[in-house]
Amino acid sequence: MKLSLVIPAMNEVDSLRELQAQIVAAATSHSLDIEVIFVDDGSRDGTWDVIRELTQADSRVQGIRLRRNFGKAAALTAGLKSATGELIMTMDADLQDDPAEIPNFIAKLADGYDVVNGWKQRRLDPWHKVYPSRVFNWLVSLMTGLKLHDHNCGVKLFRREVAGEIRLYGELHRFIPVLAHSRGFRVTEIGVHHRARQHGYSKYGIRRFTRGFLDLLTVSFLIGYGQRPQHMLGWVGLVCFAAGFAGLGYLALAWVLMNVFAVWPATPIGGRPLLAYSIASTLLGAQAMTIGLLAELIVHFAGRDSDTYSIAEEVQGPADA
């Protein structure tokens, strides 16, 4: 089967020629039918000139240049749309991913999996990137139910139908295995050889971790309640509404017992904190349920053109003679 390699690049002018040579060497030694798609994500260092040079030297190379830096998810999306292979592999352009691993990924996929995710077992990055990444991967596994050691590894191999059923935007590229798993695809991981950066510098700073956590919340919501938002918002609304209604009911009963039946001395209830909390909780519950209903309407009308299921296989009997 044909393999499409989608490689986003930003300011990687010193790495691309060597990376392409390593990819060709791996493909040649294992007789792989490949195409290589380099996506220039707003580089300013001559990366695009190198990509154009590579396309002239090898017909299997394709280049895409984005008008500005749109982010890795957008670059991957552009590359995936141009990919024609039955198998698609993503890889970073910084030479930290080893193209010699490609046959191992293909062999693992042949065991019946749909997505094979890389796992940098010995990661050659600074400690301030390694340890927060471990915490992040633990959180992703805990909150999504897909237990992988390295969700954000840049090298991934998946079947073409996976690319057709997941949508990448923002910074959801790190959640490709999670999104595929939520659609019913079989996901696994294998250890990969991670190499130290040789050229350039890392494009990721401390902000990636806060963004990653926010994206994790988004993915967790989409997986669990993307097609039924009222199940979460409505539940929150019901709890708040019930708590507020119970507080107001208690205050009403207390007022009746004090002012009508004189069970105990009458005291004003208008200044009690419970009154303010009960009113706020009731209003919050009503708002949450209302927002949930609006979200259900949006999903109902906006989701008509998108399937909420994933077909694994179809069979058909012989045609009538």
Across the range 42-71, mean pLDDT stands at 92
pLDDT category of residue 178 using cuts at 50, 70 and 90: very high
Nearest-angstrom CA–CA distance, 215 and 219: 6
Q: Using a CB cutoff of 8 Å and minimum separation of 24, what contacts does 303-309 make?
A: 303/227, 307/165, 308/227
**Domain over 3-225 is classified CATH 3.30.830.10:** no
| 71, pLDDT greater than 90 | no
DSSP, res 175: G
| Cβ neighbours of residue 125 closer than 8 Å, sequence gap 6 or more | 133, 202
Q: Write down the pLDDT at residue 280.
A: 96
What share of the chain has pLDDT > 70, as a percent? 89
Report the range of poorest mean pLDDT among 166-175, 213-222, 302-311. Answer: 302-311
pLDDT category of residue 309 using cuts at 50, 70 and 90: low
Q: What tokens does 220 get?
A: 């967790």
Q: What tokens does 195 get?
A: 């190499």
Across the range 130-146, mean pLDDT stands at 86
Tell me the per-residue pLDDT of 196-226, one tens digit each, with 9 for 90 and over.
777 666 655 566 667 777 888 888 888 888 8
Tell me the per-residue pLDDT of 27-41, one tens digit each, with 9 for 90 and over.
999 999 999 999 999
Sign of CA dihedral 230, 233, 238, 239: positive
The residue ranges of every structural domain in the chain are 3-225, 230-304
Question: Distance from CA of residue 164 to its chain's centroid?
Answer: 15
Question: Distance from CA of residue 13 to its chain's centroid?
Answer: 28
For the chain, how big is the Rg over CA atoms in Å? 27
Burial of residue 254 (CB within 10 Å: 0-12, 13-18, 19+) is middle
Q: Where are the beta strands (DSSP E) in the chain?
A: 3-9, 34-40, 61-65, 87-90, 115-120, 156-159, 187-192
Higher pLDDT, 198 or 75: 75
Tell me the per-residue pLDDT of 91-120, one tens digit each, with 9 for 90 and over.
999 898 899 999 999 999 999 999 999 998
Across the range 279-296, mean pLDDT stands at 92
Nearest-angstrom CA–CA distance, 39 and 236: 43
DSSP, res 176: H
DSSP, res 97: B
Nearest-angstrom CA–CA distance, 146 and 186: 10
Nearest-angstrom CA–CA distance, 313 and 10: 38
Quote the mean pLDDT of the chain. Answer: 87
Q: What tokens does 310 get?
A: 């994933």
Nearest to 252 by CA among 264, 270, 277, 237: 270
Q: Which helix (H) or strand (E) holds 299?
A: helix 273-302
Nearest-angstrom CA–CA distance, 58 and 237: 60
